[in-house]
Structure 1
């Protein structure tokens, strides 16, 4: 498995590279976003770990541009910025996970394994509910052929809820399956993403609604 590491701090980058190589991964380490985008365009990577504070182009921007190419490669952002707003911005940029520095290397490798495991699970490519069609290959949500713009995290959360329509999905399950656990993640991020989804779903005749089950979690119900 080839992993892309983008880190401009030489010492930190070398530590991450050595650790991943010791775990059996093939690593390409780069120090800036432009080289990372060129590498992604010409090589296949199983995952990317990208520092947020890069010269010339932030890790947020690198991640956003990777997603614009249609790539579904798992991306972990690495940063010392740990506010909820920063984490939400990073996830909205298309990141799959967000790890705050300083971190234990064991935690990084655990998250790498979790993302690669999820990537290889092979869920059905399409899911239909109400008038919604979710295409996992292109991370595309549509109603009657019209695409609804969504970030990868929004797509993953909506797919989780729709795949269990009629059942209540609790907050802990959402955090574990969408954000790979509750550690270092503010639980309020679930409410924020549910709010994003509701605005998008309620603006079209999707045939479903997301219902809050007070004190427990959320469920999806058909409206037609």
Structure 2
């Protein structure tokens, strides 16, 4: 059971290393992102513990690079409560789990063991629903062969909906997962961005995949033709 810790807080890294060693794990520690990428490429690990805020190369870039090299080792991200990075972005790039600092060591060990049980099967990075595809690594979005240009917020909204495709997603869930906690506006902003997104992913292609479920929220479905003679679905 071999674990790589990529953490620049040396006291924390050493504390975790000692604890995991006492639990029977074999542990390597590096203190910057560049060394983290190098270690992940050179050795085989069962789990990687990866901090987001690292010198030389941040945790996002470390994760992106190792996934681009088809290294599917389960990655548990370590995040700060007041960090500038959003945990959802880590999942976008292929993280498997995250813990917020400060964390319980017992919880950390339980999470590591759970990831080890799951193993590291190869998995596609690109999300696809019908002819709509989204690549979290390159952040490219396409409808068939047609590239789509989305703003950062439109991209975040689409990515969340694609991860929850076929499910009704409420406005409150979207606010919690796409808008940050500092946002002070009302949930009507979601209706606005749903309209923006429909005009880019559906209307030009004669489709109606992003639907409104009255009184409940929104649902993204596989390719569905817009009803003939129906009003512009983007205006719903």
CA 1:75–1:124 in structure 2 vs 1: closer, same or farther (change >3 Å)? Answer: closer
Q: Could you tell me which residue of structure 1 aligns to residue 35 of structure 2? A: 35
Q: 1 or 2 for the larger relative contact order (CA 8 Å, sep ≥6)?
A: 1
| 1:17 is the counterpart of 2:17 | yes
Q: Any idea what SS the aligned residue of 2:86 has? A: helix
- Please tell me whether the aligned partners of residues 132 and 141 of structure 1 are also in contact (alpha carbons under 8 angstroms): yes
**Count of aligned positions:** 205
1:1-224 aligned at under 5 Å gives the runs 1-83=1-83, 85-88=84-87, 91=90, 94=93, 96=95, 97-116=97-116, 129-132=129-132, 143-144=143-144, 157=160, 160-162=163-165, 164=166, 167-168=167-168, 188-192=175-179, 203-204=200-201, 207=207, 209-211=209-211, 213=213, 218-221=218-221, 222-224=223-225
CA 1:191–1:31 in structure 2 vs 1: closer, same or farther (change >3 Å)? Answer: closer
- What are the ranges of 5 or more consecutive residues in structure 2 without an aligned counterpart? 150-155, 181-189, 226-236
- Please tell me whether the aligned partners of residues 171 and 217 of structure 1 are also in contact (alpha carbons under 8 angstroms): yes
- Please tell me whether the aligned partners of residues 208 and 220 of structure 1 are also in contact (alpha carbons under 8 angstroms): no
- What are the ranges of 5 or more consecutive residues in structure 1 without an aligned counterpart? 175-186
Q: Any idea what SS the aligned residue of 1:86 has? A: coil
What are the superposed Cα offsets for residues 108-158 of structure 1, whole Å, 9 maximum, x if unpaired?
2333345455556898999864324689xxx99764356789xxx999855
Q: Say what the alpha-carbon RMSD is for the aligned residues.
A: 4.9
Shift, 1:39, TM fit: 1.3
Partners of 1:103 and 1:70 lie apart in 2 by: 29
Larger Rg: 2
- Please tell me whether the aligned partners of residues 3 and 28 of structure 1 are also in contact (alpha carbons under 8 angstroms): yes
TM-score, L = length of structure 2: 0.58
TM-score, L = length of structure 1: 0.60
